[in-house]
Structure 1
Amino acid sequence: MKVYKYRSGEGLALKRDLRSLINNEIYSAPIDSLNDIFEAKYILDEGGFKLNLMDNYLEGDNLNDIKNNALDVLNKYIELSGKFGVYSLSKNYGDEILWAYYANSHKGFCLEYELDELVSYRMRDELIIDVIYQKEVPTLTFTDLFVFQKTKSLQSALNKKLIATKSERWSHERELRIVTAVSGKYKYEYNSLKAIYFGCRSLTYLHKFVMKVMKGRGIKYYKMQTRSNSYELERVELRDEYAGYTYKKIELAVVEDGIPYISLANKKYENYFHDAIKIVSELPNSKIISDVDLSVFRGSASNPMIFVIYISDDDKYQKKYFSLAEIDAYFKRK
């Protein structure tokens, strides 16, 4: 799924954003720093905080103790959730209000990511959640806590109410959130950034400057414009001023001894194994190639997938998948 992040494109913010793009990182902001004044607002149903299923089996004092303990647990989780980080994205690159609010009145730009690739590197275990828009402030109940504790589901009603519910006035944003355990910077997959859209009022110098910084990354560029006889925006593809440049690492990743191991069953894919290793060795974050093989869980006999396991520059094991067609396209084979 494609998701989008709007940026202002001027001054210190531009320098910050370009530095983040070069470093392949996002900033997950503290919840209390977000621009909605009603962020994480809730009503706690203390009066109705009871264990209906246990009312007939417990004495009053014991039941009150459990109720109070449950409230303590809930309040501690509420306090913990206040330390979460949020990276807000939209499912829409063509909303004129988002361009006006978050992209400097259409003078800035908008980033397009492939969501699965964006989170696959360092945020694979984080909560990805759609924002819910409604008229009323959400009410936290004992049932919310009970279900959350029983299922341990990140997509529980408790989390949705605490960190992903907003007034319906914000519904045009079509927001999706990556919620991290703590706020701060997070690395993402090098090629999860797919395109950059420039606003209707953006200047040519911004286009060229961004293209120069991002040259060799294989990114598509678009400029937004108003559609004739309509209140809608549309995109027009721009020519990459630095098309033909190839990203070059100063030092390629090291391939461990014995890699790739070619079995008789995989012999016909030997060239693809070597090509997949070459692709990964050129990734900005790859340091050591430790394995390559056919995937058992992805692809099929007629359309196999190859995976490469590598150690990234922050000493984490990563896995990158390729179809044969993707490898062919990379090397421009016919």
Structure 2
Amino acid sequence: MEPSKSSDDKQVAPPRRVSFKYRSGPAALRCLSDGLVYFAKPSEFNDCLEAKFDHSSVADYIERMDRSIRSVSEQRSCAGGYAVPEGDLASFEAKTACDDVNFLEATQRVGIYSTASRPDNQPMWTYYSDNSKGFCFELEWPDTVLGRYQIAPVGVLYSSAARVHNRADIFDTLIREEAELHPDWSMDQILEETRSEFFRFRFQMLNTCRAVSIKHSDWSHEHEVRFVTPRAGPLPIMGQILKRVYFVRTDFPEWGPVMMLLHQLYPTVELAKMSFQHVEPYVRVQGMTKKLVPVHE
């Protein structure tokens, strides 16, 4: 291996959706060999509180819906709100209880691919890349891949508070988006849009993503970015999203085979050596080029 001699491209590039995956040597070798990205079930993660939450009460749901619609209505100088007639309350509660069960089941079926927001997190190198005897993948997620496989990116929220999920919170976000996108619409038109198939799809998807992307504050050092799919399982997308591979050490068995795989199967993927120091610059990244050297016996 030798340092790259070419300088970085100085042209302004469009915004990129980039995240990073820390991998042990064996894990890197496996996913590079088969080209698969595995979206795990919540039950497969190492957090005992993964995707654990309670549902809000019916009263809290109604109050949040009322507050959202009332707020948007006031912006349009008209009256509005959300209420359930007393005579319909029992059936509404029964339907909500059924919706809660279905929603909980949906959150346990999803697939989650956990990534990080930066490649120079030293604790991540230690316990996800086997004390730096592994790699960090730089992944770029194009819209074509996200759309084809129904992958939704979501940043993890860290909190020490009790987890009580109120689906009306997402409704609030979405109805305000509609109001901003269509400033000339009446309140009736906005409410009609909230009953559309696309609005309901986004409402369900974003609620699911949020419910499975809240972790205790103890995990906040990971700065996690998740990619969520409706169903867990492997997707053949590694070749479409892998852009760069970082390494710190070379003294482990999988380093050589991974370099050969990158040369054979991922010829356009960049390679970089990362080093940590106790003086400035605290982190140094050196671009590398791959070169085949003939061996003469």
Amino acid paired to 2:160: K
**Where does residue 119 of structure 1 map in the other structure?**
145
**Where does residue 237 of structure 2 map in the other structure?**
188
**Where does residue 98 of structure 2 map in the other structure?**
72
Write the distance in 1 (CA, Å) between the matches of 2:144 and 2:115.
12
Deviation per residue, 1:202-253 (Å, 9 max, x gap): 427644321112215122212221124159433222331339xxxxxxxxxx
Q: In the TM superposition, what is the alpha-carbon distance from 1:137 to its structure 2 partner?
A: 2.9
Write the distance in 2 (CA, Å) between the matches of 1:183 and 1:28.
5
Is the CA contact 2:106–2:208 (under 8 Å) kept in the aligned structure 1? Answer: no
2:257 to 198, 206, 209: 209
- CA 189–78 in structure 1, closer or farther in 2 if over 3 Å, else same: same
Is the CA contact 2:170–2:203 (under 8 Å) kept in the aligned structure 1? Answer: no
- CA 205–218 in structure 1, closer or farther in 2 if over 3 Å, else same: farther
- CA 46–121 in structure 1, closer or farther in 2 if over 3 Å, else same: closer
Amino acid paired to 2:288: L
Bigger strand fraction: 1
**Where does residue 168 of structure 2 map in the other structure?**
143
Bigger helix fraction: 2
**Where does residue 239 of structure 1 map in the other structure?**
289
Larger RCO, structure (CA 8 Å, separation 6 or more): 2
Is the CA contact 2:56–2:164 (under 8 Å) kept in the aligned structure 1? Answer: yes
Write the distance in 2 (CA, Å) between the matches of 1:198 and 1:56.
57
Write the distance in 2 (CA, Å) between the matches of 1:173 and 1:94.
11
- What is the 5 A alignment of 1:1-334? 1-9=17-25, 14=26, 17-46=28-57, 48-49=59-60, 51-52=62-63, 58-60=85-87, 62-116=88-142, 119-120=145-146, 122-123=148-149, 125-141=150-166, 143-144=168-169, 151-152=199-200, 153=202, 158-188=207-237, 190-199=239-248, 201-203=249-251, 206-216=254-264, 217-229=267-279, 232-242=282-292
Q: In the TM superposition, what is the alpha-carbon distance from 1:46 to its structure 2 partner?
A: 2.6
Deviation per residue, 1:166-202 (Å, 9 max, x gap): 1222222221111111111101163431111113x44
Amino acid paired to 2:19: V
For structure 2, the 5+ residue unaligned runs are: 1-16, 67-80, 175-193
Write the distance in 2 (CA, Å) between the matches of 1:129 and 1:193.
19
- Structure 1 residue matching 2:142: 3-state secondary structure: helix
| TM-score, normalised via structure 2 length | 0.68
Write the distance in 2 (CA, Å) between the matches of 1:177 and 1:72.
28
Write the distance in 2 (CA, Å) between the matches of 1:118 and 1:224.
30
Is the CA contact 1:92–1:173 (under 8 Å) kept in the aligned structure 2? Answer: no
Q: In the TM superposition, what is the alpha-carbon distance from 1:88 to its structure 2 partner?
A: 0.8
- Structure 2 residue matching 1:215: 3-state secondary structure: helix
- CA 45–204 in structure 1, closer or farther in 2 if over 3 Å, else same: closer
- CA 230–43 in structure 1, closer or farther in 2 if over 3 Å, else same: farther
- Structure 2 residue matching 1:51: 3-state secondary structure: helix
Is the CA contact 2:209–2:228 (under 8 Å) kept in the aligned structure 1? Answer: no
| TM-score, normalised via structure 1 length | 0.61
**Where does residue 76 of structure 2 map in the other structure?**
none
Amino acid paired to 1:91: S
Amino acid paired to 1:59: E
- Structure 1 residue matching 2:32: 3-state secondary structure: helix
- Structure 2 residue matching 1:39: 3-state secondary structure: coil
For structure 1, the 5+ residue unaligned runs are: 244-334
- Structure 1 residue matching 2:139: 3-state secondary structure: strand
The 10-residue stretch of structure 1 (40-49 or 20-29) with the greater mean CA deviation from structure 2: 40-49
Q: In the TM superposition, what is the alpha-carbon distance from 1:136 to its structure 2 partner?
A: 1.2
Amino acid paired to 2:121: D
- Structure 1 residue matching 2:91: 3-state secondary structure: helix
Is the CA contact 1:30–1:83 (under 8 Å) kept in the aligned structure 2? Answer: yes
